[in-house]
Structure 1
Amino acid sequence: MLEIIAFEPKYKDIFRDLNLAWLERFFYVEDKDHELLNDCQTHILDKGGLIFIGLWNQKPVSCYSLLKKGTGIYELGKMAVDMEYQSLKIGQRMLAHAIALGKRNQWERIELYSSTKLNPALHIYRKFGFREVILENNSPYARSDIKMELLL
């Protein structure tokens, strides 16, 4: 059973470790990743962002963050699911949670950066209504070659 809860400081290491494992499996860890993951309090939460942890039978197995980019505009990022729990649709539940939160708070949109190498993830984003938009030249991640948004 999955329960999605708001971040607590006791989960800072699991937030970092889940993301590092995912990044190292598919890509590499960039400077921006180190900044966000090593001090999520300063670089995400203190700037108006949010982090959520997914608990499977009380065990933290997934996470995601929402970085505040402007009034009613948030960037979905740092979403990761423990390898042992992938196939349980936890990522989709976390994504649905983020969208419901945005709608409840009457946000304008949720943006995300991804890679065209991640076809299963892109399929899920599209399934949830995200559409590709122009990727700016100064994208925060070198690995990102696609930007998507969901208008709420």
Structure 2
Amino acid sequence: MQLVPYHSNYANAFYTLNIEWLETYFYVEDYDRDVLSDPEHFIIKPGGHIFFAVENETVLGTVALLKRGSHAFEITKMAVLPEARGKQVGQKLMQYCITFAKENNFQQLFLYSNTSLTNAIHIYKKYGFVKVPLEQPNPYKRSNIKMDYNFS
């Protein structure tokens, strides 16, 4: 498996994987459709990043770093192909994001999630994320937890 940066060839996989994940676990918000339909406009051009886990030309998973400030990025739009779940694809993407953040001198790395996703919350904690107050309103109706990465 290789971890690679965004290329327009992967735009459809970014959309498809995320829509499948959202429909399986929650629902698709209008904001999700906008971002997923045009990731270059909403994520890449404003200074964000999208990464893909690819094996034998199949996209197994994806994650985005959405720029939210000069050195602040939100980990978002992480999704893994259903048949690749349980194979640590998400963990490899998470570690890649953390390493990328450190190498690029990010000052803040955070994410929004939902406490019903117990496996995901466990992984976030394992990789050094800590719960912080969730601002209101928050960007996602389905989110009930915010976590920051502890760089120290």
TM-score, length of structure 2 as denominator length: 0.97
1:62: which partner in 2? Answer: 61
Aligned residue type for 2:46: K
Shift of residue 70 of structure 1? 0.7
Q: Is the 8 A contact 1:108 1:151 kept in 2?
A: no
Identity between Structure 1 and Structure 2 (%): 38
1:132 match: secondary structure: strand
Aligned residue type for 1:75: E
Q: Distance in 2 between matches of 1:87 and 1:117?
A: 17
Q: Structure 1 unaligned runs (5+)?
A: none
Shift of residue 83 of structure 1? 0.4
Q: Is the 8 A contact 1:132 1:147 kept in 2?
A: yes
Q: Distance in 2 between matches of 1:60 and 1:26?
A: 20
Q: Distance in 2 between matches of 1:46 and 1:105?
A: 17
Q: Distance in 2 between matches of 1:71 and 1:138?
A: 22
Q: Is the 8 A contact 1:14 1:60 kept in 2?
A: yes
Aligned residues: 151
RMSD: 0.7
Q: Distance in 1 between matches of 2:120 and 2:31?
A: 21
Aligned residue type for 1:9: S
Aligned runs of 1:93-108 on 2, under 5 Å?
Answer: 93-108=92-107
Aligned runs of 1:10-89 on 2, under 5 Å?
Answer: 10-89=9-88
- Partner deviation per Cα, 1:84-127 (whole Å, 9 max, x = no partner): 01111010000000000000111112110000110000000000
Could you list the runs of 4 or more consecutive aligned residues of structure 1 that deviate by over 3 angstroms after TM superposition?
none
Q: Distance in 1 between matches of 2:112 and 2:13?
A: 22
Q: Structure 2 unaligned runs (5+)?
A: none
Q: Distance in 2 between matches of 1:45 and 1:133?
A: 27
